[in-house]
């Protein structure tokens, strides 16, 4: 999935819907490889605050913030697995 497309005037268009962390990372890598700027994600936090967050994707692929609930399931699972040795 390309991170962006441009119309005949060079204007950026909507990327699309990102359903999982692999798709998000693919977009981030493409932005980094192209050294692209001006891209962001609109994410609706339906579980915690019901607010829409604008998350900037920087030219190096980093995301400006990573709110609670935003593709963080793997991190939470690994954190719990690491606690097993403390029991």
User: 45 in helix, strand or coil?
Assistant: strand
Q: Which of 87, 53, 86, 57 is nearest to 70 (CA)?
A: 53
Two structure tokens written together for 5 = 């497309």
Question: Tens digit of pLDDT for each residue in 7-46?
Answer: 666 666 666 788 899 999 999 999 999 999 988 888 888 7
Least confident of 10-19, 22-31, 56-65, 75-84: 10-19
- What is the Cα–Cα distance from 30 to 35, expressed in whole angstroms? 8
- What is the Cα–Cα distance from 1 to 30, expressed in whole angstroms? 9
Assign 1 a pLDDT band (cuts: 50, 70, 90).
very low
């Amino acid at each position: 999935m390309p991170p962006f497309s441009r119309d005949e005037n060079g204007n950026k268009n909507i990327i699309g819907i990102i359903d999982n962390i692999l798709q998000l990372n693919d977009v981030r890598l493409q932005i980094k490889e192209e050294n692209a700027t001006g891209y962001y994600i609109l994410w609706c936090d339906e579980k915690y605050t019901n607010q829409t967050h604008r998350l900037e994707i920087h030219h190096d692929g980093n995301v400006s913030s990573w709110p609670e609930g935003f593709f963080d399931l793997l991190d939470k699972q690994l954190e719990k697995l690491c606690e097993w040795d403390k029991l």
